[in-house]
Structure 1
Amino acid sequence: MAICSGLGRVFMSKEIFRDEDSNAAYANGNFTSLDAEMEIDEGYSEVMDFVEHLFITIFDILYKNCEKELEIVRKEYPFTPLKYSTKTLRLTFQEGVQMLKDAGVEIDPMEELNTEAKRKLGQLVLEKYDTEFYILHRLPLTDRPFYTMPCEDDLDYSNSFDAFVRGEEIITGGEHINEHELLSDSAEACGVELKTISAYLDSFKYGVRPHGGFGAGLNRVVMLFLGMDNIQETSLVPCDLHGHAL
């Protein structure tokens, strides 16, 4: 909605609290989220460009300026440096599915990868491309929020992406629908009552530039950058699924 008001780029860092019904090592009752939204000129690749530049810069600065701190962590939690390149690998979802199939993993090409498949793909990418940071894009539309822009050439897929570190997802993003009618139809198709998001929809009535964005869970980024096994190790006050401090 801030993009609708004419702001070209919007950034927000905030604390998220949620009742996530999961006991996975990367799930937590609260985390710090970095969100960004930006106008785009030609396509969602511009959002991926932004993610690539931002996180490679973050990784570079951490290794350059935080050597002492990283060594302190390494003594307690041994880890190997993250492998990444200055040009981040980008695979389409279909290319990722094909890599898994070639490795003998049966995958539904129209459904989001499960945790085990994501980790396996991370291993395959490391073996083939020697990187642990990559982007998977053109994801199935059925697994994206209602405001995600469909691919123009194939409505089963979307102009969206996930970014991964060491086989785990750290970022979700993509192009967002900027047309009022299409946005309303998509919301209805996903079972969203339009009256509950009327203020949001109204902001698109008078024309909005193409735009997209992403969200990154910073606790998960730290956990995977350091090669840790549990997100609670990278949370100042980790909470269980009921919001109780651990």
Structure 2
Amino acid sequence: MNLHYRTLKKEEYEQFNNKLERNDALDVLKWAYNEFGDNLVYSCSFGAEGMVLIDLISKVKKDATIVFLDTDFHFKETYELIDKVKKRYPTLNIHLAKPEKTPQEQAELHGERLWEREPDMCCNIRKMVPLERELSRYNAWISGLRREQSPTRANTQFVNQDHRFQSIKICPLIHWTEEEVWMYINLHQLDYNELHDKNYPSIGCEYCTKPVAKGEDPRSGRWANKEKTECGLHVFQHGSGI
């Protein structure tokens, strides 16, 4: 449990990933909690991958800490899902992390509907800064990234050096397909966001998420009609995966 971003070398990340190469997601989580214990947090958006990871995590560490970035702009369906998850897994520590500024304070400072004019600034205020604050309390964090989600995520490893947050990023689901995610959800009868049944494969804030037409990129509904495809939580660098 002494592993820390600042002390690990590139070769050590390679060694970890070579060691875990043939392991499944549950084994990766067991390894991660064995190494980091209470210094490991799961940053969860409560998407489909999140439902899988929460269920797997509950089998490994029943009192694990899960952080949700509550931007104040999420769909009501997302908040309803969080309430269901809290009831199903009462021993998990689910924490809703808020931005320092309320929506009203943000509007007074930067103008109304900042997400339309400067979405990067809005994401920074309501997601990046709060997550940076939360992750500073831990040595490592878990993410539900999958390689097939987008070209920028194709090189993600199980264990990643996260330069953006000066942390170690664990991604247990990198080899899972979307079909496998939903097979797990259906097999274990897990709750999930009802918006998934209304053509929302990737769900973020209400103002910046649109339904996706059949055959379109699953993430095309995020920041629709803008070049932006990531909120900034996942900074990808060549050769490192993250």
Higher relative contact order (CA 8 A, sep 6+): 1
TM-score when normalising by structure 1:
0.28
More helix by share: 2
TM-score when normalising by structure 2:
0.28
More strand by share: 1
